Structure 1
Amino acid sequence: MSQAPEVRGEPVVTPARVVIALCLVAPFVAMLWVGSYARTDPTLGGIPFFYWYQMAWVVISTALTMTAYKLWQRDQRERATRKGGER
């Protein structure tokens, strides 16, 4: 029986990647948990909560996705510089 090869190098799960995952998962959880926003009160400018909550998440999702993208770019740059320094 062969043994699994040892994996050397950087860890796959890093704190930055955990934050990236949370930024990308949060909008899905917020929108799929319908019971948390399936009501009409409080209204905002005459718009029921059900609608303005979802519209607010459009803006929040955009900000979270942008944050995840910027963190991913920084993570990739750091990995590239570390990999380049090892040669």
Structure 2
Amino acid sequence: MAVTQVADRQVDLSVRSTALGGRTVHVRLLPTAGTRTTGATGSHWPTLWLLHGCCGDYTSWTSMTDVAETDSLRDVLA
């Protein structure tokens, strides 16, 4: 898995997905304050999954909305 910090609260991940036939897919993670993005196995957080739909990609929610700056989502892993 590749991890790239792209902004204060945005981390891009490249993840191999067995559900997608072994393809590598890209996802954008919006960690909560104090969340470690590596080596955190066994940890659990409240999570909100945002799927981009037919015409976007993994960057759509952060490029087209203010989800990363929404105060009520600061304690939710998105």
The TM-score normalised by the length of structure 2 is 0.22
Structure with the greater relative contact order (CA < 8 A, sep ≥ 6): 1 or 2? 1
Q: Please identify which structure carries the higher strand content.
A: 2
Q: Please identify which structure carries the higher helix content.
A: 1
The TM-score normalised by the length of structure 1 is 0.21
